[in-house]
Amino acid sequence: MPIKVIDQLPAVEALSAENVFVMTESRALSQDIRPLKIAILNLMPNKVATEIQLLRLLANSPLQVDVELIRLDNHVSKHTPQNHLDCFYRYFSDVEQQNYDGLIITGAPLGLVNYEDVSYWPQLSEILTWADRHVTSTLFLCWAAHAALYHYYGLQREIRGEKLSGVYWQNVCQPLSPLVRGFDDEFLVPHSRYAQVPKQKYQHHPDLHVLAEADVTGAYLLQNSTGSRVFVTGHPEYDLTTLNDEYQRDLAAGLEPKIPENYYKQNDPAKGPHKLWQSHAFLLFSNWLNYYVYQATPFDIQQIGQQL
């Protein structure tokens, strides 16, 4: 949350130059406050595990957040009990007339499938178009980030020679962006994907800004000029054991996967993993909620479509 000070305090200019968010008294007096309304479109097979991961990160904020779980209308989940879906999720068709302050769209295990061959691509495309009119800011994770870059900008991913799996250092390249406010110059993030969009493709779109990247992973964190679209190509939400679970699954399937890089203690699966990315995951979600949702959304949620 911002600190609130008198408008003319000399420290305001100095702190702002250091990328510290200071709210002047006049602005604070004009603010109305209400709970943020955040929707999650959960495309991951194990929806319960993903719910825990995302809610953990959303909860690490002084802001009050009302979460609504959304599912696709004509897609049957094979890994989540039907009674769980019926009890806790709403179909998109039931909420498409509503507005949301924020929307999170998760990844999906579809890294080797053409977008148009995904059974639910037509409705997902509809949701991406809908989000521009009904959501203040949308956060796309991993597969959803690449799918959204394709939908909005026509950026086609390239399939890597081998799966990118591990925990990798990322470099902040636009430190004055509010989304990376408080980040270290370098930070660790899990990645688990086959696809990548080459950096030169982003450079042809002036509306896209790369905020953090690495040579081995490519662009990790991007946003459009207004912050209404935030693209995260990794998995900051992953639990300690998620990469290990995927590795063991691929081993059991006979895929001969490489050991996830920089993940296990002494690079030995027998010694177990260690978690080195959680603090930046919390900070990323807090920054998104504060600067791109809370600070940007109108008090009257019905006005969202009018301001976008």
| Per-residue model confidence as pLDDT tens digits over 236-253 | 999 999 999 999 999 999
**What's 275's DSSP letter?**
-
Question: Among 94-98, 202-206, 237-241, which stretch is predicted with the lowest mean pLDDT?
Answer: 202-206
Residue 34: phi and psi, rounded to 5, are -150, 165
Cα 298–chain centre separation: 22
Decide if pLDDT at 29 tops 80.
no
Token pair listed for 301? 């949620």
Q: Flag whether 6 is in a domain.
A: no
Query: What residue numbers bound the domain in which 149 lies?
Result: 36-300
In a domain, 14, yes or no: no
Percent of the chain whose pLDDT exceeds 90: 67
Residue 301 — pLDDT band, cuts 50, 70, 90? confident
What pLDDT shows up at residue 84?
Answer: 85
- 163 carries a ligand binding annotation: yes
Q: How many domains does the chain have?
A: 1
What is the pLDDT confidence band of residue 78, given thresholds at 50, 70 and 90? confident
What's the pLDDT at 88? 87
Instruction: Specify the 3-state DSSP secondary structure of 161.
Output: strand
pLDDT band of residue 1 (cuts 50, 70, 90) is very low
What per-residue confidence (pLDDT) applies to 7?
63
Q: Is residue 294 part of a domain?
A: yes
- Is 210 inside any structural domain? yes
Domain with 43 in it: what CATH number? 3.40.50.880
On average, the pLDDT of the chain sits at 89
Of 23-32, 47-56, 240-249, where does mean pLDDT reach its minimum?
A: 23-32
Residue 145 lies in a domain: yes
Report if residue 164 sits inside a domain.
Answer: yes
Tokens standing for 293? Answer: 């949702």
Q: Is 249 assigned to a binding site?
A: yes
125 within domain boundaries: yes
Using the 8-state DSSP alphabet, how is residue 288 labeled? I
Computed on alpha carbons and rounded to an integer, the radius of gyration of the chain in Å comes to: 20
40 beta partners: 69, 104
Structure confidence by residue, pLDDT tens digits, 130-157: 999 999 999 999 999 999 999 999 999 9
The CA distance from 234 to 274, in Å, is 17
Give the residues across from 230 on adjacent strands: 139, 223
Quick one: which of 260, 237, 238, 265 has its CA closest to 247? 260
Catalytically annotated residues: 142, 235, 237
- Residue 193 labelled as part of a binding site: no
Cβ–Cβ < 8 Å for 166, 191 = yes
47 found inside a domain: yes
- Could you give the strand order of the β-sheet that contains 89-91, starting from the edge strand earlier in sequence? 89-91, 65-71, 36-41, 100-105, 135-141, 229-232, 218-224, 208-214, 158-172, 186-196
In this predicted structure, the answer to whether residue 120 has a pLDDT above a threshold of 50 is: yes
pLDDT band (50, 70, 90) for residue 161:
confident
